[in-house]
Amino acid sequence: MAVFAIARGILLWAADRKTLKKLVVKMPVTKSVVKRFISGEKLDDAIGVIKDLKAKGIKTTIDFLGEFTDTVDQAYVVRDAYLELLQRVKDEGLADSVEVSIKLTALGLGLPNGQEIAYSVAESILKVADELGTTATVDMEDHTATDVTLAVVKRLREKYPRTGTVLQSYLYRTVDDCKEFNGKESRIRLCKGAYKEPASVAYQSRDDIDSSYLKCLQVLIEGEGRPMVASHDPKIIEAAKKAFEESGRSRDTFEFQMLYGIRQDAQLELANAGYNMTVYVPYGVDWWGYFVRRLAEKPANLKFFIRALFGK
Amino acid at site 60: T
First to last CA, the chain: 23
Q: Whole-angstrom Cα distance, residue 48 to residue 61?
A: 14
Alpha-carbon span 84 to 301, nearest angstrom:
32
Identify whether 139 is a catalytic site residue: yes
* 8, 63, 79, 139: the active-site residue: 139
d(CA 76, CA 96): 26
SS3 content of the chain, % helix, strand, coil (to 5): 55, 15, 30
**Cα 125-260-230 angle, rounded to 5 deg:** 75
DSSP H or E run through 219: helix 206-222
Q: How far apart are CA 94 and CA 97, in angstroms?
A: 6
Asked whether 4 and 299 are in contact (CB, 8 A), the reply is yes
Catalytic residue of the set 189, 226, 293, 294: 189
CA atoms within 13 A on the CB side of 66: 22
Q: Which residues are catalytic?
A: 139, 189
